[in-house]
Amino acid sequence: MAGDKSSPAADLPDNPVALQAFAKDLNLNLPWIETLTITAKDPHNLTDPEDELKRELGFYNQALQAVKAAKPLVLQAGVPFGRPDDYFAEMVKSDDMMGKIRHNLLQESKSIEASENARRQRELKKFGKQVQTEKLRERQESKARSLEKIKELKRKRKGASRAGDDDDDAGFGGADEDEMFDIALGDDGDDANGGRRGGRKGAKNPRLGGKGGGRTAGGKGPGAAGGPGAKTSKYPGTKFANDKSRPPKRLGKNRRRNK
């Protein structure tokens, strides 16, 4: 500024008239094709000069506007500006440099894609852990419910078995479950031996000449009159007719407790 004493331009003379006269001397009436001067119509307004994207976009728009305005002027001057078909123009940057640029761009793209994949994997892993935790919790709850049901059934069965033991002792003269089980086995054995290992009682045995399987070679079975054991057996034809070595019956629970 002219009024600022600290500025280096303060010592220079300020003569606007001389400057305008000097500009007129420099102004030559030359055709446009000699100067190729184009002034953009729209100013380059930047609110933030540090924003590189907006700044470069403004430069691009001004250059595009200037090219559109200069093309008809060049055609009017009759000067060709298109590249001939047989013209080979070398790149400003070498192929090696362009290869490096391409490699860097690909690496940057791959790194961005890898980071996105890693982020998605983390999210999926987090979601998978949540699902797994929920499944484990459901299994634990189901297991706890099953164990509780089993305990409840055991308690009910235990109470029912105690009540059944008292009723059995009163109704069967103190016979317990083991004794009843022995009796049931004895009955099954008698039924099985009635037909001699499942055979039909009175069936003919081909080895005895068509006689009954329950008879001996003499024609009399163990339970027949005059047969073996007919006089001494209290229960003719049974398995334990003269068996004196059979153990006595087991006492019931109440008798064993009061013994």
Q: How would residue 187 be classed by pLDDT, with cut points 50, 70 and 90? A: very low
Question: In terms of Cα–Cα distance, which of 183, 161, 156 is closest to 172?
Answer: 183
What confidence score (pLDDT) does residue 180 get?
A: 47
- pLDDT score of 146 more than 60: yes
Q: Which of helix, strand or coil describes residue 63? A: helix
How remote is the C-alpha of 95 from its chain's centroid? Answer: 49
pTM of this structure: 0.28
50, part of any domain: yes
With a CB cutoff of 8 Å and minimum separation 6, the contacts of 88 are none
What confidence score (pLDDT) does residue 41 get?
A: 82
Helix (H) or strand (E) holding 216: none
Structural domain for 48, as ranges:
14-77
23, part of any domain: yes
8, part of any domain: no
Which one has a higher pLDDT value, 179 or 251? 251
User: In the predicted model, what is the mean pLDDT of residues 140-148?
Assistant: 90
What confidence score (pLDDT) does residue 107 get?
A: 92
What radius of gyration do the chain's Cα atoms show?
Answer: 60
188, part of any domain: no
Residue 44 is encoded by which pair of tokens?
A: 């380059």
Residue 23 is encoded by which pair of tokens?
A: 């500009």
34, part of any domain: yes
One-letter amino acid for residue 8 of the chain: P
20, part of any domain: yes
Farthest-apart Cα atoms in the chain, separation: 170
Least confident of 36-50, 87-101, 150-164, 166-180: 166-180
Write out pLDDT tens, residues 95-131.
888 889 899 999 999 999 999 989 888 888 888 888 8
240: phi then psi, degrees, rounded to nearest 5: -110, 50
Q: Say how many domains are in the chain.
A: 1
Which one has a higher pLDDT value, 228 or 249? 249
Are the CB atoms for 201 and 214 separated by under 8 Å?
yes
Helices and strands, counts by H and E, the chain: 6, 0
pLDDT, mean over the chain? 73
